[in-house]
Amino acid sequence: MNVKTTLYKRKILRELYFNNILSCADLSLKTNKSIPLTTKILNELIDEGYVIETGFAQSTGGRRPLMFSLQQDVMYVVSVAMDQFVTRIALLDMHNQNVTEVEKFELNLYQNKNALHVLTEKIYSFVQNLKISKEKIAGVGIAMPGFVDVKKGINYSLLPSDNKSIPDHICKKIGMPVFIDNDSSLIALAELRFGAIGNRKEAMVVNIGWGVGLGMIIDGKMFRGHNGFAGEFSHIPLFTNDILCSCGKKGCLETETSLMVITEKARKGLKDGRVSMLQQSPMDDLEQANDAILLAASAGDQFAVELLSEAGYKLGKGIAILIHIFNPETIILSGRGAAAGKIWQAPIQQSINEHCIPRIAANTTIELSTLGHQAELIGAAALVMENFEKEIVKSYSVKLATSLNN
């Protein structure tokens, strides 16, 4: 099979992954290829077991087109979702469903020189234990916090790699394509492709986690800035609280709004005698404590609701700045903290009402993620499929260069 045919097949598979169901005419339009060629390639993909016919589209008055979709188990993606303390690994199919149980392990990224080694070994072990052929895995996508240079494959904040490519390092160990990106950017990618953003062109996705991340959708596309570091929402110097932030500066947004801060306030409040169902919860472990707070707030616990409402109001001040600068159609609340649901919306909206010019904020909605904590895993999988067709070009270029040098 020639490279052009392989490349076009990958384009079709990629489009079906992101759009779920498409007609031949849709695929022809999206790939800028003729309908006869698209029909030919589709038939080949059906014969190879990659694509299935899903029936005819609903009638719009004319002839109903035949629709196509990806076979759910034809390919898989190893998806890795990292935060500063815990890493999750899962195998996802082409419908973004977990094929395996999500594997979780503690990995503290702060000042950890061995973090990349541990991560590499965990991914290697996960892949080795899979009961499917490695040939059916499209690649490994990794979402990680920090200043991530996607082109160079370097994380300048965490996972020290001696300024060498992290994807190359892991690829050498596991023998398959590896891609990395910032966690908040990939959460935004998941929301754009599969979540709450839908067809809207301007959206801000706020990742409520141990920090406060931001993914920006402008004109329907991810906006990453000049070096790919856009969206460091956590570090807007918004408060005069003299609290040292993880970035080394004081008064950043995350010093009043992150889940870590909320958890510490909960611990202090309980120690000072606040009455709450959290008194029965394990508060020593950071992750368990945070899950307990979100669950208690959802159950109406007054102390937990108070903690989230206070953080939500302060988060709203930061969001007000985003609205003034970008005038987005919607703000999506995503990430780990979004599990608390609608509790966030009222204090954030109150803050926006107080701090925004009404005409600018009038048409901006505050919405909750439809993907929840799964957003980061889905975003990491989507990263692999975003690069699916590019990988074949890269592989061909390497083989061509090798043959010319020989």
Query: What's the pLDDT tens digit per position in 177-234?
Result: 999 999 999 999 999 999 989 889 999 999 999 999 999 999 999 998 887 888 889 9
Q: Which residues of the chain have pLDDT under 70?
A: 1, 59-62, 391-406
Distances 113 to 100, 128, 159, 166 between C-alpha atoms, Å: 30, 25, 7, 13
- DSSP per residue over 137-192, as a string? EEEEEEEESS-EETTTTEESSSS--TTS-HHHHHHHHH-S-EEEEEHHHHHHHHHH
| Per-domain residue ranges of the chain | 3-70, 76-186, 197-370
Using alpha carbons only, give the angle 8, 9, 14 rounded to the nearest 5 degrees: 95
Q: What DSSP string describes 191-219? A: HHHHSTTTT-S-EEEEEESSSEEEEEEET
pLDDT, tens digit (0-9, with 9 covering 90-100), for 89-107: 999 999 999 999 999 999 9
Q: Which CATH number fits domain 3-70: 3.40.50.2000, 1.10.1740.10, 1.10.10.10, 3.40.1190.20?
A: 1.10.10.10
Residues facing 213 on adjacent strands: 207
- Written as six digits, the tokens of 177 are 């394509």
Q: What is the pLDDT of residue 172?
A: 95
Q: Alpha carbon of 28 to those of 9, 69, 272, 320: distances in Å? A: 12, 15, 65, 42
Give yes or no for a contact between 138 and 384, defined as CB atoms under 8 angstroms apart. yes
Return the pLDDT at 294.
Answer: 95
What is residue 398's predicted lDDT score, i.e. its pLDDT?
41
pTM: 0.91
Euclidean distance between CA atoms 121 and 376, whole angstroms: 21
What CA–CA distance (Å, rounded) separates 156 from 66?
A: 48
The pLDDT of residue 2 is: 74
pLDDT at 406: 47
List, edge to edge, every strand of the sheet that includes 76-82: 103-106, 86-93, 76-82, 137-144, 178-182
At residue 246, the pLDDT reads 84
d(Cα 334, Cα 378) in Å, to the nearest integer?
13
How far out from the chain centre does Cα 115 lie?
21
CATH of 197-370, one of 3.30.420.40, 3.40.140.80, 3.40.50.300, 3.30.465.10: 3.30.420.40
Q: What's the one-letter identity of residue 191?
A: E
Contact 127, 141 (CB under 8 A): no
Which residue in 120, 116, 124, 119 sits closest to 105, CA to CA?
A: 119
Look over the chain and give the mean of its residue pLDDT values, rounded to a whole number.
Answer: 91
Helix (H) or strand (E) holding 395: helix 388-405
pLDDT of residue 198: 87
CA separation (Å) from 121 to 87, 125, 172, 395?
Answer: 13, 6, 12, 24
Q: Matching CATH topology for 76-186 and 197-370?
A: yes
As assigned by CATH, the class of the 76-186 domain is alpha beta
